[in-house]
Amino acid sequence: MKSLGRAVASGAVWMVALKLIERSIGFVSTVILARLLVPADFGLVAMSMALFAILEVIGSFGFDQALIRQRSNDPAQFNTAWTLTVCHGIFSATVLLLVAGPAAAFFKDPRLESIVQVLALAAFVQGFENIGIVLYRKELQFRKDFAFFLGKKLLAFAVTVSLAFWLRSYWALVAGIVVSRTAGVVLSYLVNSYRPRISFAATGDLFRFSRWILLNGLLDYTRGRSPDFILGRFASAGTLGVFRISSELASLPTSELMYPVMRAAYPGYSKVAHDRLALKRAFLSVQGMVITLTLPAGIGIALLADPIVRVLLGPNWLAAVPIVQVLALHGALRVFRLTNNAVFNVLGAPYWNTAFSAIETITIAPVFGWLIYSGVSLDVAVWAYLAASSIVVPFAVMVMSRYLRLSFGDRLATMWRPVLGCTTMAVALILLGDTTAIPTDARSSITVLAIFIPVGACVYFVTIIGSWWLAGRPVGPETRALDLLSRSIEKLTSLQWKRSGY
């Protein structure tokens, strides 16, 4: 169990490192593109990606999770998963070519037709990605997974930014999407020796597990992408662009910190799924790590949304500030549900994820659509997202507690230190804000962030470590972090001794 915990912790470090590097690249890209392009450009591409994404979701059968969940590496299952993915890529490309014209008419923008036609090429190419990449996660080879995804991101970044300087057009964003998908396919065969073959032998086995993953993906799509259709139809491309960029900034705690940890944790959960007590311990350990990382990030983004937007995006994007604040709180709260998904999947109960996604979707999509159609401003309509999380999270916590026999004390032991740390951090930043002038330009905003971020981080860190020490230093995220830090220092010290000849 200790070796598994270390493997998961090490994998989480690699995945978080990848996301931090990827997000750093993304930040630079976003800042550059926001200065070169206008909100309407982002909104136009978001409309096109709404169509592209629904086809991606239709093909999101969760084959990778099904393959990781299996104890053996059956070539028939890997080959079947690849074959079905290729078929889906061909299907998606065909559908995009057929709907390009009607989509342009629906959104009342003729430019969409050519964009959707180009995205059809990306859909076709992406279907051929080497399924052997899944073996990296299944065998806990996270360094190779790290290198693969980082390579894709660097190539897409270089192409998108270069074209943005040259074209000053939304075509730079479209080209970045195509290059990212194409690079993923090419790299997947260069870095992995597995060579898939056409086969449908294991279709039934894969779909028995994956049907719930597909349904859950469709619901998540409806929840996440329905605003693109609603805003694109009843508002404007500029409003949609503001919403998309706001969502990207606000989702940092979940997409950039939580998902990498969960990506590393899922194979570990699969290995102990037969032992409910071991799975319980692993879940509490991972959830503690995720909450410790994501909760302060979400609260911090909500508190510092104004200077963050001014520095990263510029004055043309100030309408994003209130939206970022609400969506950041939504993302921080939603973490308490999303950390359950992997456990439900390894236990063969993915239908619970589907049920919770359905509740969120039913809450968000109709309410958000009615508000926008009625002429309510976007900064008010986004509160539907926070309301959905507030409804779903308690039910998700209750069901997971029954599955793993988690007591209130188990939950409290995992959450109280991060919650206390965030509360202390928020109070400190609010009090500091009362003595600091509100930023009105990028330069003063940089100064505010340079002061507030270190102060908030220090207050949170001191509170976490202090409360952990007073609690008797229980095993938790702090223990894992100190263990990794200690081993890193030992390696560096050993390397220095070797270089000095001792």
Q: What is the pLDDT of residues 291-314, one digit of tens each?
A: 888 899 889 999 999 988 888 777
Q: In whole numbers, what is the pLDDT of the chain averaged over residues?
A: 79
The dihedral built from the CA positions of residue 308, 17, 277 and 403, taken in this order, carries a sign that is positive
Helices (H), ranges, 168-275: 171-191, 203-234, 237-250, 259-271
Decide if pLDDT at 263 tops 50. yes
Q: Among 59, 188, 91, 182, which Cα is nearest to 131's?
A: 188
Residue 297 and residue 357 in contact, taking contact as beta carbons nearer than 8 Å: no
Quick: pLDDT tens for 416-436: 999 999 999 999 998 887 665
Residue 17 and residue 146 in contact, taking contact as beta carbons nearer than 8 Å: yes
Quick: pLDDT tens for 150-186: 777 777 777 777 877 887 777 887 888 888 788 888 8
Decide if pLDDT at 13 tops 70. no
Residues in Cβ contact with 132 at an 8 Å cutoff, skipping those fewer than 6 apart: 78, 188, 192, 193, 194, 195, 196
Name the residue ranges covered by the structural domains of the chain.
2-406
Residues in Cβ contact with 147 at an 8 Å cutoff, skipping those fewer than 6 apart: 191
User: What is the pLDDT confidence band of residue 453, given thresholds at 50, 70 and 90?
Assistant: very high
Residue 215 and residue 291 in contact, taking contact as beta carbons nearer than 8 Å: no
Quick: pLDDT tens for 213-231: 677 777 777 777 788 888 8
Which one of 101-115, 192-206, 261-275, 414-428 scores highest in mean pLDDT? Answer: 414-428
